[in-house]
Structure 1
Amino acid sequence: MIGAVDEPARATSRLAARVKDALRPLAAALPQLSALPSWPRSMRVLKHHGFSPASVFDIGVAYGTFPLYRAFPDAFYYLVDPAKESLAYMQRLSGQLRCEVHAVALGDRDGEADLEVRADIQESTLLGEIGPRSVRRMDRVPLRRFDSLFTRIARPALCKIDVQGAELMVLSGMTGRLAEIDALVIETSTIATVVGGAEVEGVVRFLGDHGFCLADIVGLRRRPLDGATAQLDLLFMPRHAALFRDRRWAATP
């Protein structure tokens, strides 16, 4: 009787294995099989491990980081972007989120800096571009260190940084408060396209020296020049985070 009961289960398992083998050559084209990076997928991983931020710092807002707002609608947001065009978007977001708006650039010192404003404000940068670009104008903008601008941080805290090559400048200005950040999502480059721009190796090394580990790839962009991967959105968390404590590959069947 036991064998009769087990046989349908074994047949189902064999069928599933055959289907998986048949689909294997197509895995790279099927998101669910290839586990392609995505904001919703990475945010679900954080939630699975009980992460629910009280504070979210959106550094480099441009038009808005909507996958982040959808994932954590109850958090308090600090919206930071120096571009004049972005201010209108941040003010509009203030009607949808609990937030503060800061029309400043973040860096490794307090003072001022030149911002190269692009036709697409999402590409505006404190650093000079390598190669052709469409520049709207140069603006002189206030520059602040994160740790002098934000003196109280409600935990848990998540910080997203998208600053077109100036990631290490921003991180250097966070050192006084970095221990109070529980997750970082940083856009950085595999191939920097701005003069002196940060690249993945330097960002990983800096954060490793401050107790953070790479936890996930949230997204990627390829450059139009040749289709090479040029930018990655990377999730970092402290070494002691819950995500790293569970070392299993899969749950017990």
Structure 2
Amino acid sequence: MDTQPHGTPLLTQVTLRPDCANCFALCFTAFGFTRSADFAIDKPPAAECPNLATDFSCTIHDRLRPRGFRGCTVFDCFGAGQSVSQGLFARISWREDPASQQATFGAFRVVKQLHEMLWHLAEAHRRTYSPDTAADVQHLRVTLEEAAASGAQAVLELDVEALHHSTAQLLRTVSEEVRAGYFTDDAGPAARLHAGADLAGAGLRGLQLCGADLRNAVLIGADLRGTDLTAVDLLGADLRDARLDDADLAGALFLTQAQVTSARGNGGTRLPAVLARPGHWTD
């Protein structure tokens, strides 16, 4: 088990999951959203959602998609909600202490970013072949965990951009290391497969994708049915409505629950063990 210097276990992808029962509905309040295909209404940041109940639960949780709140179903705080609610603010909600609202919502926005970085670094540590890189990843994981637990004011004063930069460098190193073991054809149709590529609606069935770099690629509505995505870097890729029927994502790099939930798949879609099969997928 990976531990911090004082012996406390490091957060893993399993422990970086939302626990809504121990959160003061921070996703309902801290962030805003605009009326669109993902949200039925406009809501400004730091304002309560009209679907928020007095016990911090969602009054339409089991009907979010048919009620026009698909965006809520794909949101993932990576466990930041309970960490801020139970840890940084010692179980005192922003309703009990209205003066703490701004600090609570601000800290949640920061800790969510830290926890997302920790999610990817946990995978990076598991998949790197280099002892030196593994040591660098572990050091950064400890730094991020200590920062996330350093107190509300300290969290709000963090240089998050610098932490993002350090994390991005390590994730890039691990990605290149893992993908190096796969041949990627740079000619023909595969030439479109690169970081940041606009592949919205693209027909990608039958292409050789293993080891491709699709970091931050736009794959909205893309047809990836039956495709092997082993060692494909999907960090930040937009998979909304992408067709993943019978695709193999079990070995994909840097995939999140939010990306999977935003896509379309079926019972034959293979996912990493740490991710859950979305309830709206077909059998």
TM-score normalised by the shorter chain: which range applies? 0.3 to 0.5
TM-score of the aligned structures, taking structure 1 as reference length: 0.32
TM-score of the aligned structures, taking structure 2 as reference length: 0.30
Which one has a larger percent strand, Structure 1 or Structure 2? 1
Higher relative contact order (CA 8 A, sep 6+): 1
